């Protein structure tokens, strides 16, 4: 058995925190540069590419949706095979905490949570994250902009206080989250950094790096290639 395998008895869940890709409601920084319509279309493809990359591996995938009123529309986007659960709470930390509580109550033993801002996230990073929970309490994946793209816990260590009151809109959120986990004496495994797609510059960097990788054939790269969004310099529809 290698480091990425387990004995089949571990109940694992990969939960994706997702917004319905409504123009004007998602990827607002990117939308300011390429237009709300293009940003929403890319957001949808980010979700679908992540599901394509991660759905063939050995864990259950669920999606925590915001807003919950768009459940039917999101099911139409991703298909019926994925369980959708609501995001509930006053801020991102509370919404994340409620999702962890709900899933651990369903007897999952290891839960990894990701967003949808890194469509080219390698499956190996998620595999490594689950593997790390064999001998760590928590795992974090730092984003290059100071945030984080992944957080996970093993059963028995999570509490909502681990996410409560953190500065979610600030660039030092990874540092603050790591500090909070270590203040609770949790052993934390840190993954390699990865880039979120928040701006046109991020998109251009990803596209340049994707040319020689399997992500070159993704829905995201197909949309970039057919629409010319990388050449846009101002807000367009």
Residue 177: φ, ψ to 5°: -65, -45
Distance separating alpha carbons of residues 52 and 49, to the nearest angstrom? 5
Q: What is the pLDDT of residues 181-191, one digit of tens each?
A: 999 999 999 99
In sequence order, what are the residues at sequence separation of 6 or more whose Cβ sits closer than 8 angstroms to the Cβ of residue 215? 49, 119, 120, 221
User: Which residue pairs, CB below 8 angstroms and at least 24 apart, start in 19-26?
Assistant: 19/43, 19/65, 19/66, 19/67, 19/116, 20/65, 20/66, 20/67, 20/70, 20/73, 20/74, 20/77, 21/47, 21/77, 22/70
Q: Which of 11, 103, 10, 6 is nearest to 63 (CA)?
A: 103
Mean pLDDT of 224-228: 95
Q: What is the pLDDT of residue 179?
A: 97
Give the residue-averaged pLDDT of 102-125: 97
| Per-residue model confidence (pLDDT) at position 2 | 32
CA 65 to centroid of chain Cα atoms: 12
Alpha-carbon distance values, 135 to 40, 169, 185 (Å): 39, 31, 14
Confidence of residue 79 (pLDDT cuts 50, 70, 90): very high
Banded pLDDT at 9 (limits 50, 70, 90): low
| Mean pLDDT of the chain, nearest integer | 93
Nearest to 66, CA basis, from 42, 45, 94, 39: 94
- Each residue's pLDDT tens digit, 160-219: 999 999 999 888 999 999 999 999 999 999 999 999 999 999 999 999 999 989 999 999
Torsion angle, alpha carbons of 45, 59, 184, 171, to 10: -10
What is the Cα–Cα distance from 139 to 149, expressed in whole angstroms? 11
Best CA proximity match to 115, nearest among 23, 198, 203? 198
What is the arithmetic mean of pLDDT over 7-23? 88
The arrangement of strands across the sheet holding 188-190 comes to 83-86, 60-66, 12-19, 110-114, 148-154, 138-142, 188-190
Sorted by sequence, the CB contacts under 8 Å of residue 174 that are 6+ apart come out as: 140, 142, 143, 146, 147, 148
Q: Which domains are assigned to the chain?
A: 12-225 (3.90.550.10)
How much is the pLDDT for 171? 87
Residue 121 confidence (pLDDT): 97
- Express each pLDDT in 16-58 by its tens digit: 999 999 999 999 999 999 999 999 999 999 999 999 999 888 8
CA 164: distance to chain centroid?
Answer: 19
């Amino acid at each position: 058995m290698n480091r990425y395998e387990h004995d089949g008895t571990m109940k694992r869940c990969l939960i994706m925190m997702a917004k319905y890709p409504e123009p004007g409601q998602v990827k607002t920084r990117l939308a300011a540069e390429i237009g709300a319509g293009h940003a929403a279309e890319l957001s949808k493809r980010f979700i679908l590419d992540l599901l394509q990359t991660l759905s063939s591996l050995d864990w259950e995938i669920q999606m925590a949706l915001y807003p919950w009123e768009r459940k039917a529309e999101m099911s139409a986007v991703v298909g019926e095979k994925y369980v959708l659960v609501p995001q509930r709470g006053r801020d991102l930390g509370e919404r994340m905490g409620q999702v962890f509580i709900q899933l651990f109550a369903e007897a999952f033993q290891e839960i990894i949570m990701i967003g949808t801002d890194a469509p080219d996230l390698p499956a190996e990073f998620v595999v490594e994250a689950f593997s790390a929970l064999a001998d760590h309490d928590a795992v974090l994946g730092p984003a290059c902009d100071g945030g984080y793209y992944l957080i996970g816990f093993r059963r028995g260590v999570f509490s909502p206080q681990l996410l409560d009151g953190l500065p979610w809109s600030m660039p030092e959120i990874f540092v603050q989250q790591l500090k909070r986990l270590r203040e609770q004496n949790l052993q934390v495994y840190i993954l390699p950094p990865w880039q979120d797609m928040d701006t046109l510059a991020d998109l251009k960097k990803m596209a340049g790096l994707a040319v020689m990788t399997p992500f070159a054939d993704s829905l995201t790269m197909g949309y970039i290639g057919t629409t010319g969004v990388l050449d846009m310099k101002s807000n367009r529809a």
